[in-house]
Structure 1
Amino acid sequence: MTAQQSFLFIVVLIAASGFFSLAEISLAASRRIRLRKLAAEGDTRAPRVLALQEQPGDYFTVVQIAQNAVAILGGIVGEGAFSPFFTQLLGYWFSEPVAQSAGFVLSFLMVISLFILFADLFPKRLGMAEPEKLAMAVHGGMRLFTILLRPLVWVYSRLTDTLFKLTGLPMLRDDRVTSEDVLAMTEAVTQAGILAQNEQRVIANVFDLDNRSVASAMSGRDRIAYFFRDDPDEVIRARIAEEPYATYPVCDGDIDHVIGYVDSRDLYQRVLNGQPLTLRDDALLHKVLVIPDRLSLAETLDQFRQVQEDFAVVVNEYSLVVGVVTLNDVMSTVMGDLMGPDDEELIVRRDENSWLIDGSTPIEDVLHVLKIDEFPHFEEYDTLAGFLIVMLRRIPRRTDSVVWAGYKFEVMDVDSYRIDQVLVTRLETGEAAAPTP
């Protein structure tokens, strides 16, 4: 074979190797979501590529047979492709033995470089850039090679299957999409500037509903505005004026005996009609949804959906009322920073290194704002107040503090054993992480 023929043969081998490299990487990198979209739009090649991703064994066997065959042929032909040229060129300056040895080395490096550049790096980068489009483009050619190499493909595929069975390794790709996958994708899209950071946070909050208890979003027992069944007209009017809410629990004797709830719109209607306000009228009372305090927010939403309500009373294992929760409370948890400025702020940033935080603030919100990975004994509490109680092992008093993860949490105000305000300060590096009595 002449030098020119060897060179042309090398070019053909490089092109063939590049084709198979492109076929391999484009199939592996193709995103199933985009392929399904193309299939829905009527592209008949997309379903075939999806089928190959489900069972890629024969496809990759063809690729490996072809690439190894090309590599062997390239090694055989490579020496004759460029060695004579380099040997002749170097013969002007060196002796014949030295020129032959150097010519062989240069020829070898030349062939290797051409294969690396044009048969590996370039086609693989190209395949990563447009995987779905290229996977569909090379599908026909790969199908032809699969038919031509069927006997070899069958032998090597059976041998490979046997090895997988012996080792107990999975033979199929797990294409299940987890919440972590979706969150990772939204973070990548946010970094690319396609999705706003607040919008990405909303998506993360939706997936966090399963991990957050209803106690993290409810209004606590001490913040419940409620009526007794026998409250007179003037008491009801005064309570509405002082604490204007959409819904009020109605109790019999004490707050732990809730018999229903009343909608403020019904009360306003009676006022406009000049009727007296009395809660002994059963027409005003609605059956109240009662849920345990161990439910997650996702389960709470499901309870609202089942009974077509947007208000619930939360009780503990002793059937004592610990709070109330509304659909708006849950949605506020999801919306986060997108909530309007009229909503009550539980976390107020004072400056770059300090925050004033309400004790009832959900601990997940504190983690997010302070960018802390986790709090100790995380499963034992739902709020910042709970964190302080667990760390101090007692009911905190004013000026009590806890240092954790580079922050000092100092109790600023306590009202009847309830932690109202906590001052959180970022500490200088090196300060101890321990509770301060």
Structure 2
Amino acid sequence: MFEIIIVALLILLNGVFALSELAVVSSRRARLRSMAEAGRAGAKAALELSEDPGRFLSTVQIGITLIGILAGAYSGSALGEKLSTLLQSFGVEPGMAQPVGIGLVVTIITYFSLVIGELVPKQLALGNPERIACLVAGPMRALSRVAAPFVVLLDLSSRFVFFLLRVKQDRKEVVTEEEIRSLIAEAERAGVIEADERRLISGVFRFGDRKVKALMTPRTDVERLSLAADDAAIREKLLTSSHTRLPVSRDGSDDMAGIVVTSDLVKQLLSGEPLDIEKHIRPAPVIPDTASALDLLELLRSSEEPMALVHDEYGDFEGIVTPADVLGAIAGAFRSDLDEGESEDAFQREDGSWLIAGSMPAEDMAETIGMALPAERGYNTTAGFMLSRLGHLPVTGEHFSHLGWRFEVVDMDGLRIDKVHAQRLNVTTPDP
């Protein structure tokens, strides 16, 4: 009975080492840092072990190896002999009883070592690695100090082998954007975050990768005033426009003078004063269309006017961008921001297909229908995606298949692709 207790204790001790090994290795350092800052007992020690895995793993391996040697030797000599004697009492020949007894003991010990000493502890460690790491870090750190000479020898030996193999040991914990996206998607499936929260977070990631050109309202869609226009035309524009601010051009071309607040002009008209646009022109910040969306955000924050004029590399006016464009890029378009007669960027039909606006950002379109786009691309909108695939200005009805989807131009607004129909194919169709 005493021998069985000794072997059981050795197996449990092996389980402690296996538990400690996987818990520390699987722990997220960021989580351990936050726990250490919060004063959690053992968190600082666990963080030290995770930042020097060579010494920690050497300590664990020394413990597991010694336990394996002791358990094998003790069980074979003590329990094996007793089981052999027991088998002989049942009439088994001595020549057969000894190997059978030792074999049975080794098999049973191996089974319990795998289950109790390895599998169960490791699964427990994976369940809550940071918490368990905090519990075992203190004893493991103390053991590594006691066995310091052997630990250092094993650590240096493993590093020498890595040197011979020309393998660099990169211990930096790097989290990629793709890993974060996968974690967010998993959190949504687990019910930790809502679907709307996931879309907002995804919008923030997309926003950081975008250029101003992908966010702006193009100049062809910009309502503006002209200093060369007569009073009647200006009054008509003020009556029909729903915008609180309008850009102003000097002669009706793309030579922009600034912006005006429409209420300033309305007040001037109501007071009976002569209409004088130049008096109310305010300077607007200018940003190149190749600037990043984050640069735009900083510019709008520091600007006195919530509108920026976008110019290309040649200095030509390309469009305008406002805080509403920034918010829309993250949270999606608001119905109140849509012009009269304008529909949502994407509408799903009953058959599962999508009716997509040509002006919809390509990243939003791809995420909406569940399709991947190349990281390097020369277009920003769904219309640009269609043009890149077709290679020419299309006519209504032209279509192509791409990555399991059939895209068709269903409406043209002059030379602009206005609406696109996207239908998932039953079988992935190769690119044309």
Give the TM-score normalised by structure 1.
0.88
Q: CA offsets per residue over residues 160-200 of structure 1, 9 Å max, x none?
A: 23333343433352123332332222122112101112211
Q: Which moved more, 1:271-280 or 1:22-31?
A: 271-280
Residue 213 of structure 2, aligned match among 191, 215, 232 = 215
Residue 244 of structure 2, aligned match among 243, 246, 268 = 246
Q: Is the 8 A contact 1:403 1:432 kept in 2?
A: yes
Give the TM-score normalised by structure 2.
0.89
Q: CA–CA distance in 1 between the matches of 2:41 and 2:102?
A: 49
Deviation at 1:76, TM superposition (A): 0.9
Percent same amino acid at aligned positions? Answer: 30
Q: Hey, what does 1:298 align to over in structure 2?
A: 294
Residue 38 of structure 2, aligned match among 11, 36, 41 = 41
Q: Is the 8 A contact 1:255 1:321 kept in 2?
A: no
Q: Hey, what does 1:359 align to over in structure 2?
A: 358
Residue 335 of structure 1, aligned match among 331, 338, 353 = 331
Q: Which moved more, 1:182-191 or 1:268-277?
A: 268-277
Q: Hey, what does 1:324 align to over in structure 2?
A: 320
Q: CA offsets per residue over residues 140-168 of structure 1, 9 Å max, x none?
A: 32233223212212222222233333434
Gaps of 5+ in 1: none
Residue type at the aligned position of 1:102: V
Q: Is the 8 A contact 2:286 2:311 kept in 1?
A: yes
Q: Is the 8 A contact 1:210 1:299 kept in 2?
A: no
Gaps of 5+ in 2: 339-343
Deviation at 1:136, TM superposition (A): 2.1
Deviation at 1:313, TM superposition (A): 2.0
- Tell me the SS of whatever aligns to 1:26: helix
- Cα distance change, pair 310–143 in 1 and its aligned pair in 2 (3 A): same
- Cα distance change, pair 213–352 in 1 and its aligned pair in 2 (3 A): farther
Aligned pairs (5 A) from 1:9-408? 9-84=6-81, 86-88=83-85, 90-91=87-88, 92=90, 94-271=92-269, 273-281=271-279, 284-336=280-332, 340-344=334-338, 345-374=344-373, 379-408=377-406
Residue type at the aligned position of 1:360: S
- Cα distance change, pair 169–277 in 1 and its aligned pair in 2 (3 A): farther
Residue type at the aligned position of 2:46: V
Deviation at 1:86, TM superposition (A): 4.1
Q: CA–CA distance in 2 between the matches of 1:419 and 1:327?
A: 26
- Tell me the SS of whatever aligns to 1:395: coil
Q: CA offsets per residue over residues 252-303 of structure 1, 9 Å max, x none?
A: 113310110112343344455554442121xx11112222222232232233
Q: CA–CA distance in 2 between the matches of 1:427 and 1:43?
A: 54
Q: Is the 8 A contact 2:227 2:252 kept in 1?
A: no
Q: Is the 8 A contact 1:250 1:262 kept in 2?
A: yes
Q: CA–CA distance in 2 between the matches of 1:15 and 1:426?
A: 55
Q: Is the 8 A contact 2:25 2:53 kept in 1?
A: no
- Cα distance change, pair 73–431 in 1 and its aligned pair in 2 (3 A): closer
Q: CA offsets per residue over residues 300-335 of structure 1, 9 Å max, x none?
A: 223323445431222223333222211211210101
- Cα distance change, pair 231–13 in 1 and its aligned pair in 2 (3 A): same
Deviation at 1:6, TM superposition (A): 2.8
Q: Does 1:6 align with 2:6?
A: no
Residue type at the aligned position of 1:193: G
Q: Hey, what does 2:341 align to over in structure 1?
A: none
Q: Is the 8 A contact 1:291 1:313 kept in 2?
A: yes
Q: CA offsets per residue over residues 338-371 of structure 1, 9 Å max, x none?
A: x544343122223324322222221112211221
Q: Is the 8 A contact 2:307 2:321 kept in 1?
A: yes
Q: Does 1:411 align with 2:392?
A: no
C-alpha RMSD of matched pairs (Å): 2.5
- Tell me the SS of whatever aligns to 2:243: coil
